[in-house]
Structure 1
Amino acid sequence: MTGNPEQGDVDVVGMWRTADGHIRQELRADGRYEEARGSRSRAYTGRYTVTGSHIDYVDDSGFTATGDIRDGVLFHEHLVLHREEKQA
């Protein structure tokens, strides 16, 4: 589950990118994520859950990570990602 905005959980669904675009993380509505690094698509895949503005990740290989949304910015471990504008 990706979280429930009606209960105060932040909506995180969409594409998030580092400023240089090297790392791209797609957070899908089904609670799955795919992370691309450079030309390597799907470098990491797994599932995530949202509680408030906190994200817990569990990669398909078993490792875990966390992130937090502050002022519309995703701080994921040592990365700083910004949401990509949705195309109309």
Structure 2
Amino acid sequence: MAGPVEDDHVDVVGMWVTADGHIRQELLPEGRYEEARGGRAGAYTGRYTVTGSHLDYVDDTGFTATGDIRDGVLHHEHLVLYRE
């Protein structure tokens, strides 16, 4: 389950993982993220912001994505990630 709501923002900091463990996304407290895919650590890195339960991502290459926390689950584009 996602952490408590503070100032209307869901606490998303920590490791989020797909059910099969293939994708691991670590949301760091300073607004950065690191995503591993399979054995490839640092496959994607960038920054994120949280507004309520919505996340906006900007990859270091400029690629953008979004996500939402629903019932403690992170729905990130086509991925479903669970807090580890």
Q: TM-score, normalized by length of structure 2?
A: 0.93
Residue in structure 2 matched with residue 25 of structure 1 by the alignment: 25
Residue in structure 1 matched with residue 78 of structure 2 by the alignment: 78
Instruction: Give the 5 Å matches for 1:36-47.
Output: 36-47=36-47
Distance 1:14 1:6 in 2: 16
- CA shift, 1:30, in A, is 0.5
The alignment's C-alpha RMSD in Å is 0.6
SS in 2 for 1:46: strand
Instruction: Give the 5 Å matches for 1:44-55.
Output: 44-55=44-55
Show CA shifts across 1:1-28 (max 9, x none): xxxx431100000000000000000000
Structure 2 unaligned segments of length 5 or more: list them. Answer: none
Structure 1 unaligned segments of length 5 or more: list them. Answer: none
Ranges of 4+ aligned residues in structure 1 off by more than 4 Å: none
Q: TM-score, normalized by length of structure 1?
A: 0.89
Distance 2:63 2:28 in 1: 19
Identity of aligned residues (%): 81
Distance 1:21 1:61 in 2: 25
Corresponding pairs, count: 80
